[in-house]
Amino acid sequence: MSEKIRANSILPGRREDIELHTADGLKLVGELALPADRDPVGTLICVHPLPTHGGMMDSHLFRKAAWRLPALAGLAVLRFNTRGTSSVRGTSEGEFDKAVGERYDVAAAIEHAEFAGLPNLWLVGWSFGTDLVLKYGCDPAIAGAILLSPPLRFANEDDLAVWAESGKPVTALVPELDDYLRPEEARQRFAAIPQAEVIGVDGAKHLWVGDAERVLDEIVARVAPRVPTPLPSTWDGPMESGDASAYADRTVAAFADVPVAGPPQRRGDT
């Protein structure tokens, strides 16, 4: 009998803890989730929100992607903690480096995916993670990029120019009520990348609470276009439940009232 897929539902898949090794000598913790009974048709390399504001590999969109998309879309999902970041999986070595040393973290994730023989590699960044994708992700091995709530805080015009010259597809999902960059301004800023697609999402906010299904549908539509969307909301087969308390999403709580440097009318990026 079909059961409703809920926030803590874990669909079948092959999941293994992994370690990434950076060029500057750090060990990062992560996880690779694969379809249970077939080869993946594409790969998501997930780059999480700002760790100083609770961002980690278990931030809810990426956790749900790893728990659902291997079964629903045949995708591999690689998640990892950037330097100095902690989650249930553990803590990556090093310290947060304000989007500087993290260049080696992104490179290590791409390298791991290549060595594992994973196909059709796409970077999926969320908030701070989008800046890392734009600054360091335009690698020959990468097919394209999906940006969730991009603040364009650390990435600059030179970084956008690299993606423009590459011709690689770039999709930005921008919440209507985002705290940093809203759809109209995003379209102006991303005009520097002619092939960039900017999608404004009505009613959505920076953290995508309540909008995870829309985000996952948009990701699958680009990485695995042969998979019908919207994705199923029920599952007819074995399904486990994750421990919601163990995976409490610190990002939401941390974001609520924590200001950071930036325009005074906007709250902190995550």
Residue 142 neighbours by CB distance under 10 Å: 21
Residue 226 in domain: yes
Tell me the per-residue pLDDT of 84-103, one tens digit each, with 9 for 90 and over: 999 999 999 999 999 999 99
115 found inside a domain: yes
Q: Does residue 43 fall inside a structural domain? A: yes
In the predicted model, is pLDDT for residue 245 greater than 90?
A: no
Rounded to the nearest integer, the mean pLDDT of the chain is: 92
Kindly state whether residue 241 falls inside one of the protein's structural domains. Answer: no
CA-nearest of 45, 1, 70, 13 to 240 is 13
Q: Tell me: the pLDDT tens digits for 183-217?
A: 999 999 999 999 999 999 999 999 999 999 999 99
* Residue 161 falls inside a structural domain: yes
| Domain around 92 | 3-236+246-255
Q: What is the pLDDT of residues 111-129, one digit of tens each?
A: 999 999 999 999 999 999 9
DSSP string, 41-82: SEEEEEE-S-GGGT--TTSHHHHHHHHHHHHHH-EEEEEEPP
Look at the chain and report how many structural domains it folds into: 1
pLDDT at site 262: 34
Per the domain annotation, does 270 fall within a domain? no
Flag whether 269 is in a domain: no
CATH number of the domain that residue 226 is part of: 3.40.50.1820
Q: Around Cβ 163, how many Cβ atoms within 10 Å?
A: 24
What is the pLDDT confidence band of residue 258, given thresholds at 50, 70 and 90?
very low
Residue 17 domain-assigned? Answer: yes
